[in-house]
Amino acid sequence: MPRFATLLLATAMSVSALATAAHAKNPMVGGAAMYADKNIVENAVNSKDHTTLVAAVKAAGLADTLQTKGPFTVFAPTNEAFAALPKGAVEDLLKPENKDRLAKILTCHVVAAKAMSSDVMAMVKKDGGSHKVKTVGGCELTLKDKGGKVTVTDENGNVAHVTIADVRQSNGVIHVVDKVLLPKM
């Protein structure tokens, strides 16, 4: 093989290995690979655990926003988290006439910054055990460290546990949570 072809092949293999390594660092979510070079919406649509969240984001008209540059930190509730809401709540929220209410709830899961779990833990430690953060929707969330895992408490005292942390996105990060965070109504 000519020297140039060998060098080209070795370079291509190195680039491929780097790309694979970059993708391998992200955890799988809902049985799907999550890619750091894709945005929040592009990744979320592939998670079988987030079909309700994706439908809600679309119904609230937030899909375009969550595809912008960001950065965003999204506490992404699973389908099970939505299913734990009172019977009929999700169906009611998805109705066109409830678009504003749905948008308020969803934006209370979004912080206008990229905060990896290590960043959150550092803020919690610095603030003496809990750190308050304002969301895009104007809600105040309280972040805590519970045995090395992040918890998120909404304004009503509901506590969500981060079950999958640090899912890197091109426009921020997703932390999967086991509860829907609700604004004070």
Give the per-residue pLDDT at 78: 95
Examine residue 183 and state whether it is found in any structural domain, yes or no: no
Q: Which domain holds residue 39?
A: 3-177
Can you give the CATH number for the domain in which 90 is found?
2.30.180.10
The amino acid that residue 86 corresponds to is: P
Examine residue 113 and state whether it is found in any structural domain, yes or no: yes
| pLDDT tens column, 97-150 | 999 999 999 999 999 999 999 999 999 999 999 999 999 999 999 999 998 899
Examine residue 146 and state whether it is found in any structural domain, yes or no: yes
Query: Do the Cβ atoms of 14 and 6 come closer than 8 Å?
Result: no
The amino acid that residue 94 corresponds to is: L
| pLDDT tens column, 58-80 | 999 999 999 999 999 999 999 99
> Model-level pTM?
0.84
The amino acid that residue 181 corresponds to is: L
Examine residue 82 and state whether it is found in any structural domain, yes or no: yes
Examine residue 185 and state whether it is found in any structural domain, yes or no: no
Residue 16 reports pLDDT greater than 70: no
The residue among 132, 112, 115, 128 whose CA lies nearest residue 167 is 115
The total number of structural domains that make up the chain: 1
Examine residue 56 and state whether it is found in any structural domain, yes or no: yes
Strand partners, 80: none
The amino acid that residue 23 corresponds to is: H
